[in-house]
Structure 1
Amino acid sequence: MENKKKVAFYTLGCKLNFSETSTIARNFQDEGFDRVDFEDAADIYVINTCSVTENADKQFKQVVKKALKKNDKAFVAAVGCYAQLKPEQLAAVDGVDLVLGATEKFKLTDYINDLSKNDMGEVHSCEISEADFYVGSYSIGDRTRAFLKVQDGCDYKCTYCTIPLARGISRSDTLQNVLNNASEISQKGIKEIVLTGVNIGDYGKGEFGNKKHEHTFYELVQALDEVEGIERLRISSIEPNLLKNETIDFVSKSRTFVPHFHIPLQSGSNEILKLMRRRYMREVYTERVAKTREVMPHACIGVDVIVGFPGETDEHFLETYNYLNSMDISYLHVFTYSERDNTPAAEMDGVVPMNVRSKRSKMLRGLSVKKRRAFYEAQLGSTRTVLFEGENKEGYIHGFTENYVKVKTPWNPELVNTLHEIKLTKIDDDGIVRMEFVKEPVFLG
């Protein structure tokens, strides 16, 4: 057993990537490999890439360098979105041995018979139209929560986005398979599951891209609510046009779904939304937020927004800023637009200078801080349930309430991965909320 090969993983990008890395890692463990931390010396390093972040290229090179510092003879494989979009570019990076596209990444162990270094990375990619089958996956990031993939790919044609090019058409896991995975996760003692995918509201499209929905997202939510042993379910991100009133109503009364929605807006200007080819206008977004607030006044509502899209004038940006400022939302994820090859937006007129993009981004980040603070202040004095996480941060243990308020209390290892009823008392200097237990926890020593 001493000769077990060691494999380490590094994930760039989204929660979906994390869930897929975990699945690939489990495949390696099933094949008898020993999984080690990326910081350790390994025989194989697998890097799961992302095409959404700026400088994807630069980040990737840094990670490869880091791996080869640990072991200059290690075999380096790249998988994921960037590997699908720019395989030749990644293969040319010094030290990379293998690049696998969208259809091949889950068969990585089949390609690793010979671990000798290659002069040039070997590429196995596909036309993205071949990515028409579904591979279910979930990740256990820490002991407290897991990311469960329920859907992959996207049929939307947003003009700035490469995800359909990197991940193919929208397709979903079967309902039974999702329930089996959820049940498997809950048996590992994990308390919270975050549903993830590229466009999860489109859940239910058949495996081979048939456009008919076998099940709807609403049916998925109803079925998951019945799974034994899960304490909490969280919907990661859902398009406003696909977040239906029936789902919002169901979550408000649900046993396990928490009052937290992350709803991408991208722009508060209808003109810009049209240029982006989003599938809704601002009015739909306003309705979704109003509906959520009506049935769950204490819900947390997060918003994605892009600044500096081609054609976004100062007026358009102020329209977005004022709209978001007027909305009862809880925080923003701000993305600075960056050009992507093979997207219509990259060819559009009205390019916004980089310094203007940065300035707008800074303004919205400032607004996000203000919104989060106001949301936290509105929660003070209320009683919530917190799930504690596993890290000792400067003498404190942190956790999140069901409605995504970050709280802290003095470190106690026995609190890790436990749920407690608490009262939110005050916001600390670092912006995290202090709390007191409604009932002092009893530990069975």
Structure 2
Amino acid sequence: MIDTSIFQDKTAVYYTLGCKLNFSETSTIGKTLREAGVRTARKGEKADICIVNTCSVTEVADKKCRQAIHRLVKQHPGAFVVVTGCYAQLKPDQVAQIEGVDIVLGAEQKKDLLQYLGSLDKHEKGEAFASTTKDICSFAPSCSKGDRTRYFLKVQDGCDYFCSYCTIPFARGRSRNGTIASMVEQAQQAAAEGGKEIVLTGVNIGDFGRSTGENFFDLVKALDQVDGIERYRISSIEPNLLTDEIIQFVASSRSFMPHFHIPLQSGSDDVLKLMRRRYDTTLFASKIQKIKEVMPHAFIGVDVIVGTRGERDEYFEEAYKFLKGLDVTQLHVFSYSERPGTQALKIDYVVSPEIKHERSQRLLELSDKKTKAFYSQWIGETKTVLLEKSKSGAPMHGFTDNYIRVEVDNAPRLDNHLVKVLLGGFNDDETALKGTIIE
């Protein structure tokens, strides 16, 4: 039994980098510390504990992690500093050497954070606790909202795909998950706390069921029955795992929104082969077509990587043409970053940083056109928006069912409320449509 008396009246700050899954897990860590007596430090207050949840998807992400650690150590002198997440798992000894870091917790250890804190005495030298990849095998549940209106439910962790450019299987281990029953229970708890929207998160959520003998479609159907939860969003799902039955179910579902996020990574079949992806552009295009057939109003976000090894000029032009012709709403564009230990390093053809930047800008411009065209279709329409709290006096924002961001006048009483909104033109920075609340 852990003696939590030492945590009473202690304060903590949390810093998260990376994906929605990381934010969900940080929120769960925060909940664990609060239950032990630790409160979140107020703005400007020196904290006793600093938690940094890291990302390592690119070299830039690693650099941002180091910068965040240095900044927190400076802002909170004497604080007990804990670093966890993907960067911590992949390079634990390197992270432990950063000045001010006390402990580094790998993927298997972070769920047991309290037992590693000890008496919160600063260490002369950082200590690293990280299992090897093959020993990352437990599933730590997480369903929390942090400072957000939406809840994030972790349904799956790890990945068995080993794409040539990716280190995630090494950072998070093999695919595993909790049971459908446990997911339903967590969704019910979120509803009891007043939650109305849940985002399903994970590393490869379509692979749900690998460790329990269940499947993602059955999970979706079970969650759809939970009273009180008005909206679910599927955060990201591999195109080869997004079955027609899932698409058809979402189209007629009570609570699953017409909103998909699907990683493509490249619109060139030659590059997809180099990436060791499990589909081709024909399959991807068929999924988009199926979604639009049954949900023409659906928002579809697509991940794309530019400048990967082997992406010759003609391959990028193929990819650009393919993406231009796709009926999708938004492109999430990433520049390829070389990661140690990946198979992509064996590919000879290297794209220069200048060409990567140029390709990235072209796709971002294409994305902007697609998103604005999609938003423009809805000007003058009335949609239901789940509003989120904002700073005092600032406009409130929220999303429609099909993920159009909407800006309305501040009305704190409507935080976490579903309201009817008449959609107008774009706001000043063109990141949302202005809306008028219809009482």
TM range (shorter): over 0.9
Partner of 2:77: 72
Partner of 1:88: 93
Q: Equivalent residues in 2 for 1:329-344 (5 A)?
A: 329-344=328-343
Structure 2 residue 49 is matched with structure 1 residue 44: yes
Residues 156, 39 of structure 1: alpha-carbon distance in 2 compared, 3 angstrom cutoff = farther
**Deviation string for 1:397-444 (max 9, x for gaps)?**
11110101111122221222111122323223422212234x42xxxx
Instruction: Give 1:198's aligned amino acid.
Output: V
User: Residue 188 of structure 1: CA displacement?
Assistant: 1.2
What SS is found at the alignment partner of 2:390? strand
Q: In the alignment, is the contact (CA less than 8 A) between 2:24 and 2:143 conserved in 1?
A: yes
User: Residue 187 of structure 1: CA displacement?
Assistant: 1.2
Residues 350, 261 of structure 1: alpha-carbon distance in 2 compared, 3 angstrom cutoff = same
Name segments (4+ residues, structure 1) moved above 4 Å.
none
Residues 74, 142 of structure 1: alpha-carbon distance in 2 compared, 3 angstrom cutoff = closer
Moved more, 391-400 or 111-120: 391-400
Counterparts of 1:64 and 1:245, CA distance in 2: 44
Q: In the alignment, is the contact (CA less than 8 A) between 1:19 and 1:139 conserved in 2?
A: yes
Counterparts of 1:56 and 1:336, CA distance in 2: 12
What SS is found at the alignment partner of 2:297? coil
User: Residue 394 of structure 1: CA displacement?
Assistant: 7.0
Counterparts of 1:338 and 1:165, CA distance in 2: 16
Instruction: Give 2:293's aligned amino acid.
Output: E
Q: Equivalent residues in 2 for 1:205-244 (5 A)?
A: 205-206=210-211, 214-244=213-243
**Deviation string for 1:84-124 (max 9, x for gaps)?**
10001101111111111111111111011132222221011
Which of 134, 143, 168 does residue 138 from structure 1 map onto?
143
Residues 239, 38 of structure 1: alpha-carbon distance in 2 compared, 3 angstrom cutoff = farther
Counterparts of 1:343 and 1:407, CA distance in 2: 41
User: Residue 3 of structure 1: CA displacement?
Assistant: 5.4
Instruction: Give 2:299's aligned amino acid.
Output: C
Which of 156, 165, 169 does residue 164 from structure 1 map onto?
169
Partner of 2:12: 7
Q: In the alignment, is the contact (CA less than 8 A) between 1:259 and 1:300 conserved in 2?
A: yes
Instruction: Give 2:103's aligned amino acid.
Output: L
Partner of 1:109: 114
What SS is found at the alignment partner of 2:377? helix
Moved more, 312-321 or 1-10: 1-10
Counterparts of 1:393 and 1:283, CA distance in 2: 49
Q: In the alignment, is the contact (CA less than 8 A) between 1:40 and 1:70 conserved in 2?
A: no
Instruction: Give 1:18's aligned amino acid.
Output: F
User: Residue 380 of structure 1: CA displacement?
Assistant: 2.2
Structure 2 residue 260 is matched with structure 1 residue 261: yes
**Deviation string for 1:66-98 (max 9, x for gaps)?**
222233211111111111100011011111111
Counterparts of 1:67 and 1:227, CA distance in 2: 40
Counterparts of 2:128 and 2:353, CA distance in 1: 34
Counterparts of 2:146 and 2:380, CA distance in 1: 31
Which of 35, 42, 46 does residue 40 from structure 2 map onto?
35
What SS is found at the alignment partner of 1:198? coil
Counterparts of 1:392 and 1:47, CA distance in 2: 25
Partner of 1:19: 24
Residues 67, 311 of structure 1: alpha-carbon distance in 2 compared, 3 angstrom cutoff = same
Instruction: Give 1:158's aligned amino acid.
Output: C
Which of 52, 55, 64 does residue 59 from structure 1 map onto?
64
User: Residue 61 of structure 1: CA displacement?
Assistant: 2.5
User: Residue 332 of structure 1: CA displacement?
Assistant: 0.6
Residues 357, 26 of structure 1: alpha-carbon distance in 2 compared, 3 angstrom cutoff = same
Instruction: Give 1:237's aligned amino acid.
Output: S
Structure 2 residue 180 is matched with structure 1 residue 181: no
Residues 395, 97 of structure 1: alpha-carbon distance in 2 compared, 3 angstrom cutoff = closer
Structure 2 residue 366 is matched with structure 1 residue 367: yes
What SS is found at the alignment partner of 1:55? helix
Q: In the alignment, is the contact (CA less than 8 A) between 2:10 and 2:38 conserved in 1?
A: yes
Where in structure 2 are there 5+ consecutive unaligned residues?
none
How many residues are aligned here?
Answer: 433
Partner of 1:427: 426
User: Residue 376 of structure 1: CA displacement?
Assistant: 0.6
Partner of 2:436: 436
Residues 339, 404 of structure 1: alpha-carbon distance in 2 compared, 3 angstrom cutoff = same
Q: In the alignment, is the contact (CA less than 8 A) between 1:8 and 1:38 conserved in 2?
A: no
User: Residue 22 of structure 1: CA displacement?
Assistant: 1.4
**Deviation string for 1:364-388 (max 9, x for gaps)?**
1111111100111122233321111
Counterparts of 1:98 and 1:427, CA distance in 2: 47
Moved more, 381-390 or 224-233: 381-390
Residues 39, 364 of structure 1: alpha-carbon distance in 2 compared, 3 angstrom cutoff = farther
What SS is found at the alignment partner of 1:435? strand
Counterparts of 1:322 and 1:404, CA distance in 2: 25
**Deviation string for 1:248-295 (max 9, x for gaps)?**
111011111100000100000000000000000000110000000000
Counterparts of 1:174 and 1:3, CA distance in 2: 34
What SS is found at the alignment partner of 1:391? coil
Moved more, 19-28 or 296-305: 19-28
Q: In the alignment, is the contact (CA less than 8 A) between 1:9 and 1:38 conserved in 2?
A: no
Counterparts of 1:29 and 1:142, CA distance in 2: 14
Moved more, 119-128 or 326-335: 119-128
Q: In the alignment, is the contact (CA less than 8 A) between 1:385 and 1:401 conserved in 2?
A: yes
Structure 2 residue 333 is matched with structure 1 residue 346: no
Partner of 2:208: 203
Q: In the alignment, is the contact (CA less than 8 A) between 2:55 and 2:62 conserved in 1?
A: no
Moved more, 119-128 or 193-202: 119-128
User: Residue 28 of structure 1: CA displacement?
Assistant: 1.4
Where in structure 1 are there 5+ consecutive unaligned residues?
207-212, 441-445
User: Residue 141 of structure 1: CA displacement?
Assistant: 3.3
